[in-house]
A and B are shown apart, each in its own frame.
Chain A
Amino acid sequence: MPNPSTECVRILVPAGALGLGWDDVALARGVARGPDLIAIDGGSTDSGPAYLGQGVSKYSRAQIKGDWAVLIDAARKAGCPLVIGTAGTCGAASAVDWLVGITRDILAETGHRAKIAVLYSDRDPEDLADRWDRVSPLPGAPDVEASALADCTNIVALAGVEQVQAALATGAEIVICGRTTDTAILAALPLARGCHLGGAWHGAKVGECGAYCCTHPDTGVIEIDFDGRGFTLTPLAETSRATPETVAAHLLYENADPIRLHEPGGYLDVSGATYRAVGDGSVRVEGSTWVPGPYSVKLEAARKIGHGILSLVILRDPRYVVNVADWCASLEARARDRIRSRMGDVEYDLQLRRIGVDSALGDLEPGRAIPNEVGVTAQVIAADEPTARDIAKLVNPLLLHHPLTPDEPMPTFAFPFSPPETDMGARYEFVLHHVLALDDPMDGFRLEVLDA
């Protein structure tokens, strides 16, 4: 039965992430339909550990500034707050402050003022090490000791709805969150207003990628109406339609488990969910349940593992193309000998990968097609840039001239650039796949309110 005291909450989601763009007509339609909140995700781990490692955004500042300005204007016209989760791709403080700076610039340039709430999700490594007994590994986690935390350049905890609700409760017009779960920014308001628990989490999970759960996913814009029994999802572009299949199938997307989805303080169980087409391209969902559990937040961290230099050489001679595996093996052996003889016991990692043969899958590659040419990348990782570059330069003559057999005229291969070595910059790795138990959801999260 619907809870008679429950208001319906309407949330407008412009896109799966800030920086991807949207259908402008659909966004304007969504604004005119009176949303209670405009919510958009700002982050992902999908592009790798460098962004959290460096605390920077993967997107162009110009793109983010332009898109964010449109959403600030849309929220003002709609008379509702605007919230972003995991600002600046990684949600670390430096990335959050980057978006706060962009927001200040937009407001100054447009002559507007706004109250901004900023939620920081960073964790202090020493504090986290002190409470390591409250940290548990998730399935598939690497072996990590508390001592590894000091090496991390950024550690963040994924905020849930409680922390986002605290930020919304400040009355801010713009809410910029550090690392949050993808769902938290969408589920926070419906849950604060007493909507159905399972429906709020399920709608948030389906809607967090915008129109990815619909046909014509690139149009971006969807609207979700949450209420006391479930939610109704509506894509707002002319061409885009939600069907029971597209909405149900979105739970497969980037989820290891499509039935149970863990969040801070419990999990969503969609095994009882029903999906029904309503109206012209909307889908009604009911029947999901929320199962409360101990309160914990997921942790993410990245640390620097060295500095990378990449060289690229292209083999076009068919005899070398066919024998590229042998060529790489003998080249690598010679390179390692030379490095040992000239640089002693320097620590480094050298990998040759064959683009056109098996560079994406390595030993798992089942294909056996013979290409016209093969690009070979030589990647060197060492403690610092000068060491990595010197090793790359030491390998360079071999990349250019290494013969397949000892007694043949010296071959020469194609270097597309001069110099052939490219600076990959600092290299990072993900460190944590763990959860931290908390007694108070706000413990360690920091909320600031600014007038800009």
Chain B
Amino acid sequence: MPRLRDLARLRSKNAGPFWITIDLFCDGESYARVAAVATEVFSARLGVGDVRRFDMPDLHVVKLSLPRPQVQGSLQDRDMHGASLVEVLADMEVG
């Protein structure tokens, strides 16, 4: 079964100091498969309950936004740009 990183270009970025947003850039072929993944599957991997999700079929993008697990730059934060968080999702298998 292919992994998410095989089906999409992955990006996670800060959306201000208190949110992170993850963009899964699919193509015309892979979009339906990635969009079929339930939000709960993503949120369980990310360890948060309240993921905001935007499915954008015109752009072949699934977007996931979540409150930062640690506020940017706080004592517990490990990644100032939030750039690594998407790796939590990258190896999940997508049917």
Contact = CB atoms under 8 A, between A and B. Distances in A.
B23 to A, nearest CB: 5
Interface stretch (A22-30, A46-54, A189-197): A46-54
Interface in A105-149: 138-142
B10 to A, nearest CB: 12
Given A258-B63, A360-B84, A366-B91, A253 B73 contact: no
A364 B69 CA distance: 10
A258 B13 CA distance: 13
A252 B23 CA distance: 7
A364 B16 contact: no
Given A252-B63, A257-B54, A428 B18 contact: no
B21 A254 contact: yes
Interface residues of A, number: 42
Interface string A271-307: 0000000000000000000000000000010000100
A256 B46 CA distance: 16
Q: Which of A138, A249, A367 has the most B CB atoms < 10 Å from its CB? A: A249
A430 interface: yes
B71 A429 contact: yes
B30 interface: no
Contacts of B45: 366
Interface in B19-70: 19, 21, 23, 25, 45-47, 52, 54, 56, 58-59, 61, 63, 65, 67-69
Contact of A140 (B56, B63, B67, B87): B67
Interface in A33-59: 45-50
Nearest to A142: B71
Contacts of A138: 18
Contacts of B94: none
Q: Which of A140, A256, A359, A363 has the most B CB atoms < 10 Å from its CB? A: A256
B70 to A, nearest CB: 9
Interface in A294-342: 300, 305
A249 B71 CA distance: 26
A313 B18 CA distance: 32
Contacts of B16: 45, 254, 256, 433
Contacts of B23: 252
Given A353-B78, A359-B78, A429 B88 contact: no
Contacts of B75: 305, 349, 351, 381, 427, 429
A259 interface: yes
Given A248-B59, A361-B88, A45 B54 contact: no
A255 B16 CA distance: 8
B79 interface: yes
Contacts of A141: 18
Nearest to B81: A46
Given A45-B17, A364-B88, A433-B17, A258 B71 contact: no
A252 to B, nearest CB: 5
B68 to A, nearest CB: 7
B87 A366 contact: yes
Given A50-B73, A248-B59, A258-B63, A360 B15 contact: no
Contact of A256 (B15, B72, B91): B15
A256 B19 contact: yes
A135 to B, nearest CB: 16
A257 B56 CA distance: 12
Contacts of A7: none
A245 interface: yes
B72 to A, nearest CB: 6
Contacts of B72: 45, 48-49, 430
Q: Which of B46, B78, B79, B80 has the most A CB atoms < 10 Å from its CB? A: B78
Contacts of B65: 256-257
Contacts of A359: 78
A248 B78 CA distance: 31
Q: Which of B21, B25, B73, B85 has the most A CB atoms < 10 Å from its CB? A: B73
A409 interface: no
A353 B69 CA distance: 17
A142 B15 CA distance: 16
Contact of B85 (A46, A258, A364, A433): A364
A362 interface: yes
B88 A47 contact: no
A141 B71 CA distance: 9
Given A249-B59, A257-B54, 14 more contacts: A49-B17, A138-B18, A140-B67, A142-B71, A252-B61, A254-B13, A258-B56, A300-B17, A305-B75, A360-B84, A364-B69, A427-B75, A430-B72, A433-B17
11 contacts: A45-B14, A48-B73, A138-B18, A249-B25, A252-B63, A256-B19, A353-B78, A360-B78, A360-B79, A360-B87, A364-B46
Interface of B: 13-19, 21, 23, 25, 45-47, 52, 54, 56, 58-59, 61, 63, 65, 67-69, 71-75, 78-81, 84-85, 87-88, 91
